[in-house]
Structure 1
Amino acid sequence: MYRRPLFHRLDIESVVVFRALHLGDMLCAVPALRALRASLPKARVTLVGLPWARQFAQRFRSYIDDFVPFPGHPKLPEQEVRHEALTPFYADMCSRRFSLALQLHGNGLVSNEIVAGFGAGTMAGYCRDEPVATEHTVLFPYPELGAESERLLSLVERLGAQAVGDYLEFPLAQADRQELEASGVAPDLAPGSYICVHPGARKRDKCWPPQRFAEVADRLAAEFGVRVVLTGSADEAGLASEVASNMQAKAINAAAPISIGAMAALMKNARLLVCNDTGVSHIAAGLRLKSVVIFSKADIARWAPLDRDQHRCIWDPDAQRSAAVLQHARALLVRHRPGTAAHGGDVALLVKTWKAANAAQTPRSAWLIDAMRPGCRAAGLPGLRVAGLRGCGVAGFRGCGVPGFRGCGVPGLRGCGLRGCGVAGLRGCGVAGLRGCGAAGLRGCGAAGLRGCGAAGLPPC
């Protein structure tokens, strides 16, 4: 085995990357492509993928310089083989004399043979068996565990690349926004006033039932006053209509013949996405759009977005867990958008959602713990620790810990112990004159369970 990584011992002028898969799978490769570009900034990078991926290469032109459509292989199920195109394809690949061929298509059982046919000076990727390290070939054993994006990023790191973040991206162009506006599928939607529900998937057998999507959409519309936008391709318009027909609230059916970019532009300003395990869940991760993703077949550990706080994944193969989907959607919606200031409406929103969860017979402790889980910003107010749940927030209590909210940094809360009192347990503090915790009907509350409280009308806990 060579001691120096491949990228450090070769003069690499051109790279061909093979990954002939669909949208979500391609988006998982973005962190690896970003690291590749950062480590080989002068190399010309060519992507070989499914014909549709030309638009992917154009969208990620900062990482990809050229695109060649793959004509298919009998053992790869993603497309039918165009037999007449095989010989010209491989001849073209060999004529380009790539410095490096990088196999980013699975464990190499089939794809290594394909990539070897590109005639590159050196080949690298994963393999099923023992590692290979020769002058012209470097193959590492395929990792059977870990998220897909991490597996791909790990490969280029082992070759000598420097990781530049493990986050996904989905850059939007002005043309995407213009297409959305021209389509007229969802006019007059103010940013943050709606949620997106995407009931479809490339494989229909992994779709949650339309009735379940309708149930969740109705409840969220009623509790949060948001409009519901049903997204999908033109082929999924019928499925979206079925969801709409099962709803009490009026939904906007935006399943239309628009591009992936235009659909992403629509999702960009939504407050939440509820969807199946499909490509749009990775678009949401790239857009920093909070999401609840329902899994029924795929491996969650491999295909779920990395940020499990902003993207909640529910395993529900029998379509019996709509209450769990609602619980997680509420926890995400109750927060503010990042960067917005806390204000008095936050507590009112939290109270409203608490009441809705109570009316739905959602266990209060489960809802509260979920809304204030690690890393969250319930109601967008940073810093609370609820029973040791670090990094979340209600009422902007910085560095606090319930029970006993110690060392709070809310304006007006000076050195409080905050035990057994008002808004989420604000005892004896002076928030805007809330002395003795009796103002505005905030009586006898106790955080860490909110026992016997009347915070803005909360019933006894």
Structure 2
Amino acid sequence: MAVTGRDRPPVLALRAPGIGDLLTAVPALRALRRGFPGDRLVLAAPAGLTGIVELIGGIDATVAADGPTGLHWSGPPPRLAVNLHGSGPQSIDALQATRPGELLTHRHPDRPGVCGPPWRSEVHEVRRWCDLVVGAGLQADPDDLDLARPATAPPVTDAVLVHPGAAHPSRRWPPGRFAELARALHAEGHRVVVTGGPAERELTAEVTARAGLPRSADLAPRCTLELLTALVAAARLVVCGDTGPAHLATAYRTPSVLLFGPTPPQRWGPERDGPHTVLWAGTTGDPHGDRPDPGLLQIGTGRVLRAARARLAGR
């Protein structure tokens, strides 16, 4: 599939969910870059992730797309459109609307005229997208996950980063448990900071206060995505659930303790070897649920604290 010529129609890839989703597609995106070395590679992704896209490297341009229905392509028909988004027909329709010369996607029963490999739900997310592009003749390395270091300087380094938030309540370990963990590690002499997105300021303030940390330890009020990335890259340890900072920790090989609940780590956890401890009760549930997953609640504070101490000790 390799071709050359920057003046030719671009290669367009769609990956429009959140930060963790984007990072699982990095090896596939780099495979596209290698497979089309002379062509313009455009990524359709949420506008807020532009800073992360720059750290991936090799992507010539981005176009804003908050979900597949938010892709509004005004450029020339791509020579190739690649669906790295999901299994639903919406992403197929969005890319077909760009009138590509070729479409690389998983097939869907509601789109019988579209060719592609079947969707397999049990495959790890990184390997899913690698397998898709490998099936098209490209070479992909599932371990090719590293990101460049961000230019933003973190306000603290070598800290224990506690991130209590997640996209959905089912993936959020209770704030009281995060506070208990943070209090214990702070009492043992570790510098502990709490991070979160703009919508999580009440949550991070609660965890900070209940842990007895100084208010300055709550970094959520100034925690842009670029700053969060820099903090993870420079952290001594990251403790969080199945959410974006977990994937950043994998990308930067930062030691981490990761709490999984409704989704199994075999699908979304760190697949590469590294300083990561994954805690999971072995049950699955609704990843979009409106309350903490019962399996996630089975993970006690003591177990997480022991795992954090082991990672901090270098074991």
Same-fold call, TM > 0.5?
A: yes
Shift of 1:148: 0.5
Match of 2:130 among 153, 165, 185: 153
Q: State percent identity of aligned pairs.
A: 32
1:328 matched to 2:293? The reply is: no
Match of 2:107 among 100, 116, 127: 127
Q: Which amino acid aligns with 1:97?
A: P
Q: Tell me if the contact between 2:250 and 2:274 (Cα under 8 Å) persists in the aligned partners.
A: no
Shift of 1:130: 11
Corresponding residue number in structure 1 for 2:279: 314
Shift of 1:20: 1.4
Shift of 1:157: 1.1
Shift of 1:173: 3.2
Which residues of 2 match residues 268-283 of structure 1 at below 5 A?
A: 268-283=233-248
Corresponding residue number in structure 2 for 1:247: 211
Q: Secondary structure at the match of 1:229?
A: strand
1:18 matched to 2:14? The reply is: yes
Q: Which amino acid aligns with 2:230?
A: A
Q: Which amino acid aligns with 1:330?
A: R
Structure 1 residues not aligned, in runs of 5+: 1-6, 181-185, 336-377, 379-461
Q: Which amino acid aligns with 1:29?
A: A
Report the Cα distance in structure 1 between the residues aligned to 2:223 and 2:184, rounded to whole angstroms.
28
Match of 1:59 among 55, 65, 77: 55
Q: Which runs of 4+ in 1 moved over 4 A?
A: 10-13, 129-132, 248-251
Match of 2:85 among 105, 115, 135: 105
Instruction: Specify the structure having the higher radius of gyration (Cα).
Output: 1
Which residues of 2 match residues 292-307 of structure 1 at below 5 A?
A: 292-307=257-272
Q: Tell me if the contact between 2:208 and 2:218 (Cα under 8 Å) persists in the aligned partners.
A: yes
Q: Tell me if the contact between 1:153 and 1:166 (Cα under 8 Å) persists in the aligned partners.
A: no
In structure 2, the CA distance between the partners of 1:271 and 1:34, relative to structure 1 (3 Å rule), is same
Report the Cα distance in structure 1 between the residues aligned to 2:231 and 2:53, rounded to whole angstroms.
21
Shift of 1:250: 4.7
Report the Cα distance in structure 2 between the residues aligned to 1:122 and 1:247, rounded to whole angstroms.
54
In structure 2, the CA distance between the partners of 1:197 and 1:305, relative to structure 1 (3 Å rule), is same
Q: Tell me if the contact between 1:102 and 1:123 (Cα under 8 Å) persists in the aligned partners.
A: yes
1:284 matched to 2:249? The reply is: yes
Q: Tell me if the contact between 1:17 and 1:48 (Cα under 8 Å) persists in the aligned partners.
A: yes
Q: Secondary structure at the match of 1:332?
A: helix
Q: Tell me if the contact between 1:46 and 1:67 (Cα under 8 Å) persists in the aligned partners.
A: yes
TM-score normalised by structure 1 residue count: 0.59
Shift of 1:326: 1.8
In structure 2, the CA distance between the partners of 1:333 and 1:298, relative to structure 1 (3 Å rule), is same
In structure 2, the CA distance between the partners of 1:308 and 1:207, relative to structure 1 (3 Å rule), is farther
Report the Cα distance in structure 1 between the residues aligned to 2:174 and 2:13, rounded to whole angstroms.
37
Q: Tell me if the contact between 2:256 and 2:275 (Cα under 8 Å) persists in the aligned partners.
A: yes
Shift of 1:274: 0.5
Corresponding residue number in structure 2 for 1:385: none
Q: Secondary structure at the match of 1:208?
A: coil
Q: Which amino acid aligns with 2:226?
A: G
Q: Secondary structure at the match of 2:196?
A: coil
Shift of 1:123: 0.9
Shift of 1:227: 1.0
Report the Cα distance in structure 1 between the residues aligned to 2:162 and 2:214, rounded to whole angstroms.
13
Q: Which amino acid aligns with 2:12?
A: V
Shift of 1:126: 0.9
Q: Secondary structure at the match of 1:114?
A: helix
In structure 2, the CA distance between the partners of 1:310 and 1:146, relative to structure 1 (3 Å rule), is farther
Q: Secondary structure at the match of 2:11?
A: strand
Report the Cα distance in structure 2 between the residues aligned to 1:109 and 1:222, rounded to whole angstroms.
51
Shift of 1:330: 2.0
Structure 2 residues not aligned, in runs of 5+: 281-294
Q: Tell me if the contact between 1:32 and 1:153 (Cα under 8 Å) persists in the aligned partners.
A: yes
Which residues of 2 match residues 163-178 of structure 1 at below 5 A?
A: 163-174=140-151, 176-177=152-153
Which residues of 2 match residues 197-212 of structure 1 at below 5 A?
A: 197-212=162-177
Shift of 1:39: 2.1
Shift of 1:308: 6.0
Q: Which amino acid aligns with 2:103?
A: M
Match of 2:32 among 30, 36, 45: 36
Report the Cα distance in structure 1 between the residues aligned to 2:174 and 2:66, rounded to whole angstroms.
35
Corresponding residue number in structure 2 for 1:142: 119
Shift of 1:141: 1.1
Q: Tell me if the contact between 1:233 and 1:258 (Cα under 8 Å) persists in the aligned partners.
A: yes
Shift of 1:103: 0.9
Report the Cα distance in structure 1 between the residues aligned to 2:218 and 2:65, rounded to whole angstroms.
34
Report the Cα distance in structure 2 between the residues aligned to 1:11 and 1:31, rounded to whole angstroms.
21
Higher RCO, 1 vs 2 (CA within 8 Å, ≥6 residues apart): 2
Q: Which amino acid aligns with 2:242?
A: D
Shift of 1:248: 4.4
